[in-house]
């Protein structure tokens, strides 16, 4: 279980691996800004980071973090089905990770260091 608010690539991949890939996902339904977090999580799960960024970019929030806009309400995480098993997927942190990626705060480093 990941407690960190700031995710690295590795931690983001570990966290999305916990997602149950719900049909008709309640996390997406619960978002007041209609961010399709379930679809974003699927993209990251298949290491499609540009695709995840493009989906998140559609909502025009990449210059602000998800949690800033949501005032820490985290309706998505409260609705997450995984929370019934152990703990909800850290959706807010994943979306903040995408913001940091877009802003150039994070960069993917390959195994060879390039």
89 binds ligand SF4 (CB under 6 A): yes
What is the smallest separation between the CB atom of 78 and ligand SF4, expressed in angstroms? 10
Give residues 4-63 in contact with ligand SF4 (rule: CB under 6 A): 19-22, 25-27, 38, 41
Please tell me the distance from the alpha carbon of residue 58 to that of residue 18, in angstroms, as a whole number.
25
Nearer to ligand SF4, 58 or 109 (CB): 58
φ, ψ of residue 94 to 5 degrees: the values are: -65, -45
Angstrom distance (rounded) from CA 108 to CA 9: 7
Which positions lie near ligand SF4, rule CB under 6 A? 19-22, 25-27, 38, 41, 80-82, 89, 91
């Amino acid at each position: 279980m990941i407690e960190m608010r700031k995710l690295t690539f590795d931690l983001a991949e570990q966290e999305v691996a916990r997602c149950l890939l719900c049909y008709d996902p309640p996390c997406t339904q619960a978002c007041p800004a209609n961010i399709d977090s379930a679809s974003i999580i699927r993209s990251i799960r298949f290491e499609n980071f540009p695709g995840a960024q493009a989906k998140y970019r559609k909502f025009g929030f990449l210059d602000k973090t998800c949690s800033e806009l949501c005032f820490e309400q985290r309706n998505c995480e409260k609705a997450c089905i995984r929370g019934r098993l152990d703990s909800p997927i850290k959706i807010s942190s994943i979306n903040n990770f995408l913001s940091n990626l877009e802003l150039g705060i994070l960069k993917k480093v390959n195994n060879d260091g390039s």
